[in-house]
Amino acid sequence: MKRNILITGGAGFIGSHVVRLFVRKYPEYRIVNLDALTYAGNLANLRDIESEPNYIFERGDICDTDAVREIFRKYDIDGVIHLAAESHVDRSIKEPFAFARTNIMGTLTLLQAAREAWNGAWEGKLFYHISTDEVYGALGSEDTPFTEATGYDPHSPYSASKASSDHFVRAFHDTYGLPTIITNCSNNYGPYQFPEKLIPLVINNIRHRKPLPIYGKGENVRDWLYVEEHARAIDLIFHKGKVADTYNIGGGNEWRNIDLVRVIIGVADRLLGNPDGYSEELITFVTDRAGHDLRYAIDSSKLEQELGWKTEVQFEEGIEKTVRWYLDNEEWLDGVTSGDYMKYYDEMYDKR
């Protein structure tokens, strides 16, 4: 194989799109997917490529030092794309220690394993760490978007854990010379997202005529990036990015939560054959999240100017494709919301 790439969290939402892209685009690469298969990991996300000869799945915890070292040894790993993370802010408020364990100690475990395995032979090696725009804190309504020079100011246990992991990645480059790259992305949306997140939650609740919960008055603003665009950016940065550098990846689509929900309602009602505005009555305002950041927005101009990346999927197209995918894949959505998707893991391991 030309490359042996370890992708962590590859059974999750963003990770599954990255795994699929690399497996199909680079048949000469061996892609090793390491995932602990917690609630957000779903092997059904990868059924279409699970039998490809250049794809390998390993179930494991990134905090398990011995298991991670063995994967580096067994597959002669020369590149890491690190996506595995706890990522839901509400969960981090309830379970901050779980986020510290996975996001900080898991990243540290991977960094140390890479340093030991490569042992100063850095040529052709790369540790690529995927982070979030939330490490930058919050923006006011008139503030300019986050750039790579924006100072860190995390406000939730989730963003604090990701900020810490970012610092460890940079420290391993500065201290040991480990070749690293970090990217910070805006909110992703698209197929295979776990339905605790806003967009799939709203789509699923519209299907079942359930309330559409919106924090506060729905005035919080997020920048939305179609997940396949993010995967394409990761591919470009992995191959062309500058070692020890940071790149921001944004969708250039800022939406207030209430406006976004109304757009989804419009698309879903049309596709379901409902009258215009039929599901508006389901909107329900709920008590705001603790420490809820007002606005995130990403400036991707560095990535665009230095590596030539630009968004190709406009928001209207992306949201149409997303809503349509969830409505066309009710079996997947029902399997996830019911918990039945976990049975697929057992079936997979019975075959091994």
Mean pLDDT by 10 residues, the chain (352 residues): 95 98 98 95 96 98 98 98 96 96 98 98 98 97 97 97 98 98 98 96 97 97 98 98 98 97 98 97 96 96 98 96 98 89 60 50
Q: Which of 35, 61, 78, 134 is catalytic?
A: 134
The burial class, CB within 10 Å (0-12 / 13-18 / 19+), for 79 is buried
- Give the CA dihedral 189, 264, 88, 69, nearest 10 degrees: -20
What 283-288 contacts at long range (C-beta under 8 Å, 24+ apart), as own/partner pairs, is 283/211, 283/212, 283/214, 283/258, 284/211, 284/212, 284/213, 284/214, 285/213, 285/214, 285/215, 285/216, 285/217, 285/218, 286/213, 286/214, 286/215, 287/215, 287/216, 288/215, 288/216
- Return the pLDDT at 169: 99
- Return the pLDDT at 344: 56
Q: Which of 35, 78, 133, 293 is catalytic?
A: 133
CA 209 from centre of chain: 28
DSSP labels for 257-321? Answer: HHHHHHHHHHHHHHHHTPPTTTTGGGEEEEPPPTT--SB--B--HHHHHHH-----S-HHHHHHH
Give the span between the Cα atoms of 92 and 128, in whole angstroms.
24
Is 75 noted as a catalytic residue in this protein? no
Q: Which residues of 9-35 are buried (b: 16+ CB within 10 A; e: fewer)?
A: bbbbbbbbbbbbbbbeebeebbbbbbb
Pairing of strands 221-226, 254-256: antiparallel
Is 95 noted as a catalytic residue in this protein? no
Give the span between the Cα atoms of 209 and 98, in whole angstroms.
33
Q: Write the CB contacts of 225 (distance below 8 Å, at least 6 apart in sequence).
A: 185, 186, 187, 188, 189, 249, 250, 251, 253, 298, 311
Using DSSP, state whether 30 is helix, strand or coil. strand
Is 158 noted as a catalytic residue in this protein? yes
- Return the pLDDT at 348: 54
Q: Which of 128, 136, 158, 192 is catalytic?
A: 158
Residue 121's alpha-carbon distances to 125, 178, 179, 181, in angstroms, are 8, 9, 10, 17
Query: Residue 285: beta bridge partners?
Result: 214
- The pTM of this model reads 0.96
- Return the pLDDT at 345: 57
CA 238 from centre of chain: 16
Q: Which amino acid is at 30?
A: R
Half-sphere exposure of 223 (CA within 13 A, CB side): 25
Give the span between the Cα atoms of 223 and 64, in whole angstroms.
34
Give the span between the Cα atoms of 56 and 42, in whole angstroms.
15
